[in-house]
């Protein structure tokens, strides 16, 4: 609760402070609220054109706005009205800087007018800004509950951006792209090649591929094209390229999923490993601290318990490839207790016990869990659920394909998540993108394939998920003027 100090209560020399750390979301919100889109204040962009992402500096008026947080929240607090404010800006604020914001009463005048010295300093004592505020202090006690303030969702897909940067630190992955004869399929593969993520081998009808390239204005010079007249032959040839060692991953282009999977799972010449294939959607959901993996939403229609064992293990492996050390897996149902009339709750309980006994490895598995208490800590507490997974799930295992597919699409179209998909369980990663997926989704799927390929071959992720990325930037750029 925020409670004020009335004019009569204020004393000369009285002081109050708040602390604040500058985050990327602060800069995005301020840019939208103020209309100031000066690129030197926007994270994750190259504003000077040298090919490196530049370190943004906070707008000076964002720093100034911190003063109002002290005046409006603490001293004098709720009910305070500005008369004037002066600023001297002495230094710049960078991402991660911890700031101390202080206001000190220096003068009281008639009509409830109060003068306060204001100061913003970095944690090392460096003064960022100082000045004087003149306000009209409140006359009566006012108390305000901050919980009444609506929250703000910043639609920002930072997890895929970070993972793509990480994937770009290793050599490009050789990928057989099967039937890339529509704009999204071909455009996505070429985009990933331009980003240095993959070396695509275009397998399909050469005439159709060339026509698509002309349609999107792409130059195919330097790209290998393996001419196969039909989708079926293209799928077979793509799998053969894996066995020949010329490719280490498959990307589905403009063909039906069944056509490609038929050649992946065939006993002779396929890519089987003894595990059931399953599909993992990796969802970058705005506001979530890490990606969320959903399985299975694309291959196994009504999996039995044996199939779910492989689905869970595959999803754990995907999480570990992303750098999540011990993925927390929530087995979803409509309720969080075992009900013999609901098979999904029985399966969930068995899967949890199998993980405890080491039959499923590498993650923490719990269920049954309803969706709310799988991802929301408060919902889990409200229902009295004590669990290492409840409220913190990295992986959500749906009871069947219909539920998984609806969940993934709801997150995409209602929660504004960005989704990428990968088939796990074959000897190589398979990018099973939808024919309707755009280039961005295909690029993200290439990122997943690179990370999973590295994990398959090395038994370890490229980097822990929360570790800093390897830095290749040049020296920090000189700060730009406001």
pLDDT tens digits, one per residue of 284-333: 988 788 899 999 999 999 999 999 999 999 999 999 999 999 999 999 99
What integer pLDDT is reported at residue 106 of this predicted model? 97
What integer pLDDT is reported at residue 208 of this predicted model? 96
**Which structural domain, as residue segments, surrounds residue 67?**
2-148
Question: Do the domain assignments include residue 436?
Answer: no
Q: How far is CA 163 from the centre of its chain?
A: 9
CATH code at position 36: 3.10.129.10
What integer pLDDT is reported at residue 50 of this predicted model? 73
pLDDT at 429 exceeding the cut of 90: yes
Which helix (H) or strand (E) is 326 found in, with range? none
Listed residues 385, 401, 425: the one ending a domain: 425
Q: What are the phi and psi torsion angles at 185 (to 5°)?
A: -65, -50
What integer pLDDT is reported at residue 467 of this predicted model? 63
pLDDT at 84 exceeding the cut of 60: yes
Question: Do the domain assignments include residue 170?
Answer: no
Average pLDDT over residues 339-359: 96
Instruction: State the greatest distance between any 2 C-alpha atoms of the chain, in Å, as a whole number.
Output: 92
What integer pLDDT is reported at residue 479 of this predicted model? 36
The residues with which 422 forms a beta bridge, in sequence order, are 280
User: What end-to-end distance do the CA atoms of the chain give, in Å?
Assistant: 36
What integer pLDDT is reported at residue 51 of this predicted model? 67
User: Structure tokens of 8?
Assistant: 């009569």
- The Cα–Cα gap between 304 and 344 comes to 9
pLDDT at 481 exceeding the cut of 80: no
Listed residues 148, 165, 190: the one ending a domain: 148
pLDDT at 165 exceeding the cut of 70: yes
What integer pLDDT is reported at residue 261 of this predicted model? 93
What integer pLDDT is reported at residue 156 of this predicted model? 62
Whole-number mean pLDDT of the chain? Answer: 90
Question: Do the domain assignments include residue 7?
Answer: yes
Question: Do the domain assignments include residue 156?
Answer: no
142 and 281 part of one domain: no
CA dihedral 350, 364, 161, 51 (to 10 degrees): -140
User: Structure tokens of 457?
Assistant: 């071959």
Domains: count for the chain? 2
SS3 for 149?
coil
The better pLDDT of the pair 155, 38 is held by 38
What integer pLDDT is reported at residue 214 of this predicted model? 95
- The Cα–Cα gap between 428 and 351 comes to 26
- The Cα–Cα gap between 409 and 343 comes to 24
Q: Whole-model pTM? A: 0.74
CATH code at position 421: 3.40.718.10
Average pLDDT over residues 236-244: 96
Average pLDDT over residues 76-95: 95
Distances (CA, A) of 360 to 16, 373, 436: 54, 22, 34
What integer pLDDT is reported at residue 2 of this predicted model? 82
Question: Do the domain assignments include residue 328?
Answer: yes
282 and 420 part of one domain: yes
Question: Do the domain assignments include residue 219?
Answer: no
Q: Which residues contact 168 (CB under 8 A, 6 or more apart)?
A: 195, 196, 197
What integer pLDDT is reported at residue 365 of this predicted model? 97
Question: Do the domain assignments include residue 85?
Answer: yes
Average pLDDT over residues 11-17: 96
Listed residues 148, 176, 203: the one ending a domain: 148
Closest CA to 232 of 272, 202, 260: 260
Closest CA to 75 of 6, 144, 147: 6
Helix, strand, coil percent content, the chain, rounded in steps of 5:
35, 20, 45
Question: Do the domain assignments include residue 343?
Answer: yes
User: Structure tokens of 272?
Assistant: 């089987």
């Amino acid at each position: 609760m925020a409670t004020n100090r009335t004019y009569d209560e204020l004393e000369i020399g009285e002081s109050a402070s708040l602390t604040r750390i500058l985050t990327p979301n602060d800069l995005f919100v301020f840019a939208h609220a103020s209309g100031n889109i000066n690129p030197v204040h926007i994270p994750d962009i190259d504003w000077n054109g040298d090919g490196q992402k530049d370190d943004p500096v906070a707008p000076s008026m964002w720093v100034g706005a911190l003063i109002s947080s002290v005046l409006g929240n603490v001293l004098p607090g709720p009910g305070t009205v500005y008369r004037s404010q002066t600023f001297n800006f002495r230094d710049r604020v960078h991402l991660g800087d911890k700031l101390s914001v202080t206001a000190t009463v220096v003068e009281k005048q008639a009509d409830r007018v109060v003068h306060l010295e204001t100061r913003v300093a970095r944690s090392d004592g460096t003064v960022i800004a100082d000045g004087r505020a003149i306000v009209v202090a409140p006359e009566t006690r006012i108390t305000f509950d901050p919980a009444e303030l609506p929250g703000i969702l910043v639609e920002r897909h930072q997890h895929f951006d970070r993972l793509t940067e990480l994937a770009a630190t290793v050599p490009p992955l050789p990928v057989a792209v099967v039937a890339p004869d529509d704009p999204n399929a071909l455009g996505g593969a070429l985009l990933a090649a331009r980003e240095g993520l993959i070396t695509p081998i275009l397998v399909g009808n050469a005439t159709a591929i060339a026509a698509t390239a002309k349609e999107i204005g792409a130059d195919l010079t330097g790209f290998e094209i393996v001419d196969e007249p039909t989708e079926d032959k293209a799928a077979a040839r793509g799998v053969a390229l894996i066995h020949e060692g010329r490719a280490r991953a498959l990307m589905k282009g403009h063909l039906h999923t069944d056509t490609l999977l038929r050649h992946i799972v065939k006993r002779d010449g396929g890519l089987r490993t003894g595990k059931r294939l399953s599909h993992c959607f990796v969802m970058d959901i705005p506001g979530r601290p890490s990606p969320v993996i959903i399985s299975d939403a694309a291959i196994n229609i009504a999996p039995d318990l044996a199939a779910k064992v492989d689905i869970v293990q595959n999803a754990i492996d995907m999480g570990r490839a992303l750098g999540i050390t011990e993925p927390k897996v929530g087995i979803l149902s409509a309720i969080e207790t075992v009900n013999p009339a609901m098979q999904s709750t029985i399966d969930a309980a068995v899967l949890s016990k199998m993980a405890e006994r080491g039959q499923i490895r590498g993650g923490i598995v719990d269920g049954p869990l309803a969706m709310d208490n799988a991802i929301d800590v408060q919902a889990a507490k409200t229902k009295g659920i004590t669990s290492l997974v409840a409220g913190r799930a990295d992986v959500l295992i749906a009871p069947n394909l219909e539920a998984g597919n609806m969940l993934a699409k709801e997150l995409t179209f209602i929660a504004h998540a960005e989704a990428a998909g990968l088939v796990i369980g074959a000897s190589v990663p398979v990018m099973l993108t939808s024919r309707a997926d755009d280039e961005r989704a295909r690029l993200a799927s290439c990122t997943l394939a690179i990370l999973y390929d590295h994990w398959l071959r090395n038994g370890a992720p490229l980097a822990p998920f929360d570790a800093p990325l390897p830095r290749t930037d040049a020296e920090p750029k000189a700060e730009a003027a406001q």
